[in-house]
Amino acid sequence: MINLESPKKFSALTMQAHQVAKEIFRPISRKYDLAEHAYPKELDMLASLLDGMTAGGGAAGAGAAGVGRGIREDSDENRNGSNLSSLVGVMELCWGDVGLLLSMPRQGLGNSAIASVANEEQLERFKGRWAAMAITEPGCGSDSAAIRTTAVKDGDDYILNGEKIYVTAGDRAELVVVWATLDKNIGRAAIKSFVVEKGTPGFELVRLEHKLGIRASDTAAFVLKDVRVPAKNLLGDPEVNVEKGFAGVMQTFDNTRPLVAGMALGLTRAVLEETRRVLEAAGVVIDYSAPVITQSAAAAQFIGMEADYESARLLTLQAAWMADNRKPNSLQASMAKAKAGRTCVDVALKAIELCGSIGYSETSLLEKWARDAKILDIFEGTQQIQQLIVARRLLGKSSAELR
């Protein structure tokens, strides 16, 4: 049976992550929002802290790199594992600041991809290194199957050519997990992911993006010109299996989409707490024992915002729990990402409206949170893409049948 309360065994992790968010992230949040592209040096100490938390066992999976494969398929054990612990940690850290979470050393989405699909030798070889993930291209946004970056086998190497944009932590990471196609004519089944070392000849950083939100996090664009990557750096099965299709590469998203939903939940909770404080200071009474229709408009709207947050939280916990227990969770991961992303944006904008000038000025973090919120509805698959995936799963349609 699934219990969708936060597991008690993660209480130490929750407490430690909340302290980091409160004592480190919140105090420097505005500083690095204003100093875009400046690396938050205060985060260097967290790399060692996270290593210690993971080595301690009870707080393993404190950041994005903590996701894993779950338990053995032949096991009857009901487990709360690394996916759920990563989610709990991410939720707390993003209560502090989303951009700073994305700037934490060795906690990139590329690390999640490696944790999800790498073999044992690769896990050991890339252990302790910061990995970004490069999927989006100038002509390929939400439709990952339209990737045009190519990978051509050449002896014991692959030669990569193409262009990648919107790579989170692309400048600061040591490795980049690059999605490329082995054969454009085959379609989705030919798309594979390759770990590319920074400094590899032909792998060129061309610019850093200026963004609406999450300004503490660097977002990079790359050009790949005859980049030679060892064949042993290909993640997953090197064979093109038309029957299996895109499933091997897309398995990464089944683990990372609940994490992005968790980022949205952490930010949403921060917004709700600050909005409640402002409303109560203004004399607004929020009474959970009284019908919503009898309360003020502001109180009624706030209660509705909380209800949306709670439904998104439960969906997200379910998706992470399923990943830990090796249950197919593609539908639940997309539902959680869609609900949490949309809720975060809606709640953040409604908070600005309810709090008026306080929410709109830089005297409060509410205006920053409203800017940060939008990316959580976009990256790792937009709202529209998630709804399309959910529809395909529920109706039993393929991508060719339902576009």
Q: What CA–CA distance (Å, rounded) separates 190 from 253? A: 17
- Please give the pLDDT value at position 242: 63
Residue with tokens 């896990």: 123
Q: How many Cβ atoms sit within 10 Å of the Cβ of residue 353? A: 12
- Please give the pLDDT value at position 56: 47
Q: What CA–CA distance (Å, rounded) separates 97 from 104? A: 11
Catalytic residue among 137, 174, 274, 380: 380
Output the six-digit token pair for 167: 């790579």
Q: How many Cβ atoms sit within 10 Å of the Cβ of residue 379? A: 22
Q: What CA–CA distance (Å, rounded) separates 398 from 403? A: 9
162 forms beta bridges with 224
SS3 151: strand
132 forms beta bridges with 176
Q: How many Cβ atoms sit within 10 Å of the Cβ of residue 99? A: 25
SS3 149: coil
- Please give the pLDDT value at position 146: 84
- Please give the pLDDT value at position 58: 44
Strands 191-197 and 234-235: antiparallel
339 forms beta bridges with none
List, in order of start, the domains of the chain with CATH numbers.
8-125 (1.10.540), 131-235 (2.40.110.10), 247-395 (1.20.140.10)
> Which of 281, 316, 280 lies closest to 2, judged by CA?
316
- Please give the pLDDT value at position 57: 45
Residue 380 annotated as catalytic: yes
- Please give the pLDDT value at position 147: 92
DSSP 8-state class, residue 244: T
Tens place of pLDDT per residue across the chain (403 aa):
455 677 788 898 899 999 999 999 999 999 999 999 999 999 988 776 666 555 544 444 445 555 655 544 555 667 778 889 989 999 999 999 999 999 998 888 898 889 888 999 999 999 989 999 999 999 887 777 789 999 999 999 999 999 999 999 999 999 999 999 999 888 788 999 999 999 999 999 999 999 999 999 999 999 999 999 999 999 988 887 765 555 556 667 888 899 999 999 999 999 999 999 999 999 999 999 999 999 999 999 999 999 999 999 999 999 999 999 989 999 999 999 999 999 999 999 999 999 999 999 999 999 999 999 999 999 988 999 999 999 999 999 988 899 8
pTM of the entire predicted model: 0.91
> Which of 229, 214, 122, 107 lies closest to 179, judged by CA?
229
